[in-house]
């Protein structure tokens, strides 16, 4: 099973992200069902490890929080764009949640991510899209922002690869604590 842990994106926010879409040659826009903020890509694991991970994540205690999606960018930075994303403003509670999840995964023997955590929501993938078209799109939407998005859960997803892309299904949701 191919697993990842992510924050689901509320429907109203997905709609705002979908509103960014426009015809750009080679740009494959992310489907609404695919939109999430990845906290940890686990990768391919056997069912026993998947079940253990499911249980381990229940041990994470973390307060709910609000985040702001702001700005558009692309990966890999400085090279030819492959992924276009909506960024997330610096958020201490988001980084703490990521660190907790990463720590539990490492304790289980799941390799840590080598790249620094750069929270984002993928909005498109490019294939043969000119860098100029991507930077023009980014400049056009540089003031894009959605504020006060409540994060009150994270989810363990299974991702199945198909010829038309990956399909994600929720395996388990984990509630974050409210301040009350």
* All domains in the chain, ordered by first residue: 2-175 (3.90.1140.10)
CA 155 and chain centroid, separation: 11
Query: How many C-beta neighbours within 10 Å does residue 98 have?
Result: 21
pLDDT tens sequence for the chain (180 residues) = 999 999 999 999 999 999 999 999 999 999 999 999 999 999 999 999 999 999 999 999 999 999 999 999 999 988 899 999 999 999 999 999 999 999 999 999 999 989 899 999 999 999 989 999 999 999 999 999 999 999 999 999 999 887 777 789 999 999 999 765
| Model pTM above 0.85 | yes
The tokens for 166 are 């990956």
Residue whose entry in the numeric block shows the structure tokens 């990845």:
38
* pLDDT of amino acid 165: 73
- pLDDT tens digits along 39-48: 999 999 999 9
Rounded CA separation 34/7 (Å): 12
Rounded CA separation 136/89 (Å): 22
């Amino acid at each position: 099973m191919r697993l990842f842990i992510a924050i689901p994106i509320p429907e109203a926010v997905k709609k705002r992200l979908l509103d960014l879409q426009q015809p750009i040659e080679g740009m494959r826009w992310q489907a609404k069902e695919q939109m999430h903020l990845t906290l940890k890509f686990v990768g391919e694991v056997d069912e026993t490890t998947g079940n253990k991970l499911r249980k381990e994540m229940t041990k994470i205690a973390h307060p709910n929080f609000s985040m702001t999606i702001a700005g558009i960018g692309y990966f890999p930075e400085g090279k030819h764009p492959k992924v276009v994303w909506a960024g997330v403003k610096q958020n201490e509670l988001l980084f703490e949640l990521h660190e907790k999840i990463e720590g539990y995964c490492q304790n289980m023997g799941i390799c840590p991510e080598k790249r620094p955590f750069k929270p984002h929501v993928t909005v498109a993938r490019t294939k043969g899209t000119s860098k100029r078209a991507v930077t023009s799109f980014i400049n056009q939407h540089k003031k894009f922002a959605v504020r006060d998005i409540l994060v009150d859960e994270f989810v363990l997803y299974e991702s199945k690869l198909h010829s038309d892309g990956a399909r994600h299904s929720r395996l388990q949701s984990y509630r974050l604590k409210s301040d009350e």
